[in-house]
Amino acid sequence: MSALRRHDLVWLDPAFPLAKLGVTEDHRAELGGWIARGLPLVVGRQFGQPGVRLGFTLPGIGPRRRVEVRAPQSAIVAHEPPPALESVVRAAPEAWREPLHAIAHAFHDAGLLARAYGSLVTQAVTGEACVRPGSDVDLLVDCAGPNETQVALAILSTCGDRPPRLDGELRMLNGWAVAWRELATTLAAGGQLLAKSDDDVCLMSADGFLLTQETTVRAAPIEARPAPFDEFIA
């Protein structure tokens, strides 16, 4: 199996004993139902603890109900990267579909692929309402270097505040990712921004982030601690 990365989707073996999955007792039945439906879980940031840190958000447009899971590699039967934005547009509210198609095509024309994660993906895979009228659409764009990052920022800055509002991350080849809005602000105003990898977080300058595909990251570390589900999933 290829390496698991933040935001990837994985499917667990429905025959694997729930008792051997790290989940709180009050969420065990919800996890069992989720797996039985053949629904994917999302890979979160890892912390060097046993098992793979996963999670999922239960459908609904009320308060978010999130479930965190620890699963051994042997329980994982399938693994995919986050879906391309174009593949989940059909699940979006009708008024969002045309602008989301245009955004997906803008990235395609630039030689980039916009992937989606968050509530729109949950709505797409479950077929149940998850997106609120004011929800953001979370995008993940992999960039090979500073030039591609600037192209992605230009597209997002042009389209990002039109309905639907775009949020999400730009990720370098070595796995370090930053929120695109924070990167745009830091490039303009200076300072540091929060960067995340598959198993770490740190503070770095915007210029430092743009060079991470060629250099080892050496920046101000942040105390490594398990984050709340809504934090690690982002």
Residue 4, in any domain of the structure: no
Burial class (CB in 10 A: 0-12, 13-18, 19+), 218: exposed
Residue 2, in any domain of the structure: no
- Edge-first strand order for the sheet with 137-143 is 114-117, 137-143, 166-172, 177-179, 192-196, 201-205, 220-221
Specify whether the CB–CB gap between 110 and 150 falls below 8 A: no
Q: Is the pLDDT of residue 36 over 60?
A: yes
Q: Are residues 178 and 72 in the same domain?
A: no
pLDDT tens string 103-128: 999 999 999 999 999 999 999 999 99
Dist CA 73 CA 1 (whole Å): 9
Domain end position, chosen among 59, 80, 101: 80
| Owning domain of residue 89 | 85-232
Residues forming a β-bridge with 69 = 54
Q: Are residues 71 and 99 in the same domain?
A: no
Dist CA 129 CA 62 (whole Å): 10
Q: Are residues 68 and 103 in the same domain?
A: no
How many structural domains is the chain composed of? 2
Domain end position, chosen among 57, 80, 103: 80
pLDDT tens string 131-180: 998 899 999 999 999 999 999 999 999 998 889 999 999 999 989 999 99
Dist CA 232 CA 46 (whole Å): 9
Check residue 12 and give its pLDDT. 98
Specify whether the CB–CB gap between 130 and 160 falls below 8 A: no
Domain end position, chosen among 41, 65, 80: 80
Q: Are residues 221 and 107 in the same domain?
A: yes
Q: Are residues 173 and 198 in the same domain?
A: yes
Q: Are residues 42 and 93 in the same domain?
A: no
